[in-house]
């Protein structure tokens, strides 16, 4: 008999993950959410709705969290009427991008209450969430990850056991550091190109298909070239949050991380300018505008390949 699953966080990623759990036969309860559409759609498909985190815990054996970050996780778990207030054993899978230090502390505190928390952050996008082909970086004891694996497989194509609790969230931050670093480099390179009269089309004609091409580059440039705002749906305010977590981790470990600081400051500037809700590729427009150039409608055609 399949374990009962509770789900908190029915945003772009979470609603698709929850739909996959239902479609693959997992008994599912969901927590009431500000956006009723996702809740109503899942209830119509067979899920039940809980009125509080405590009620969700009482109806579940395993609870999946897919929220913004550590403050939200802490509130859902330990806040008034939170999951821990149910006073029962649970396995909590934190799919959020959380601060590893908070994750480790929280897991240690919960262990004495019979609650196991492991970190299971996600790689890829809402498109892969809908297809059930996300990547999961799982940090926790071998037996706990093994118990979680069939549940995670409902929405993941790859599940990588990264090590002890906290290691999944650390790996997720490193993964996001690489992608946000690419975003910062693309944005600065495009700005410098524009200063020299090199259009985004020319830039792309050189990079695309070469050694520096990759799927992340292609999604980023779907916005740069075609103004498709949905090509890479990750808000710059969340990029700043993740890079701030990375800075906290680096500080705690005594590491010098000048590249991470530079990337974080780029997103901090964008958020300070009121662009936090815009998706990450829009950083290219922010960097261009700060330097008095535009990447839009520059008019030059890409040169023919020779």
Residues with catalytic roles: 172
41-61 core/surface letters (b: 16 or more CB in 10 A; e: else): ebeeeebebbebbbbbbbbbb
Q: Are 31 and 50 in contact (CB under 8 A)?
A: yes
Of 159, 101, 166, 169, nearest to 140 (Cα)?
Answer: 166
Specify the 3-state DSSP secondary structure of 235: strand
| 211 phi/psi in degrees, rounded to 5 | -65, -25
CA separation for the pair 64, 31 (Å, rounded): 11
Find the length of the chain. Answer: 306
Q: How many CB atoms lie within 10 A of CB 212?
A: 12
Q: How far apart are CA 55 and CA 86, in angstroms?
A: 7
Neighbours of 180 (CB within 10 A): 25
Contact 155, 16 (CB under 8 A): yes
Report d(CA 232, CA 10) in Å as an integer.
19
> CA–CA distance from 172 to each of 122, 154, 196, 265 (Å)?
7, 20, 36, 19
Give me 295's structure tokens: 């990447």
8 Å CB contact between 174 and 148: no
- DSSP label at residue 140: S
């Amino acid at each position: 008999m399949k374990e009962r699953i509770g789900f908190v966080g029915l945003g772009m990623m979470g609603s698709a993950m929850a739909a996959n759990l239902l479609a693959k036969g997992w008994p599912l309860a969901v927590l009431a959410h500000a956006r009723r559409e996702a809740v109503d759609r899942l209830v119509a498909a067979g899920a039940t709705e809980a009125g509080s985190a405590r009620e969700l815990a009482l109806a579940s054996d395993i609870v999946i969290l897919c929220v913004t970050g550590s403050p939200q996780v802490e509130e859902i778990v330990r806040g008034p009427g939170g999951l821990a207030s149910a006073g029962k054993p649970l396995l909590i899978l934190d799919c959020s991008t959380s601060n590893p230090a908070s994750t480790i502390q929280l897991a240690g505190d919960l262990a004495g209450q019979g609650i196991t928390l492991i970190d299971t952050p996600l790689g890829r996008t809402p498109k892969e969430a809908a297809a059930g082909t996300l990547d999961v970086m799982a940090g926790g004891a071998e037996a706990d990850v093994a118990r979680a694996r069939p549940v995670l497989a409902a929405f993941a194509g790859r599940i990588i056991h990264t090590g002890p609790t906290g290691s999944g969230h650390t790996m997720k931050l490193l993964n996001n550091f690489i992608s946000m670093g690419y975003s910062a480099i693309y944005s600065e390179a495009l700005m410098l190109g524009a200063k020299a009269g090199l259009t985004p089309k020319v830039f792309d004609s050189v990079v695309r298909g070469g050694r520096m091409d990759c799927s992340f580059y292609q999604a980023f440039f779907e916005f740069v070239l075609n103004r498709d705002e949905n090509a890479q749906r990750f808000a710059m305010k969340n990029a700043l949050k993740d890079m701030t977590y990375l800075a906290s981790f680096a500080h705690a470990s005594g590491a010098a991380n000048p590249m991470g600081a530079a990337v974080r400051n780029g997103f901090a500037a964008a958020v300070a300018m009121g662009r936090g809700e815009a998706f990450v590729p829009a950083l290219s427009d922010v960097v261009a505008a700060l330097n008095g150039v535009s990447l839009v409608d520059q008019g030059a055609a890409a040169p023919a390949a020779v």
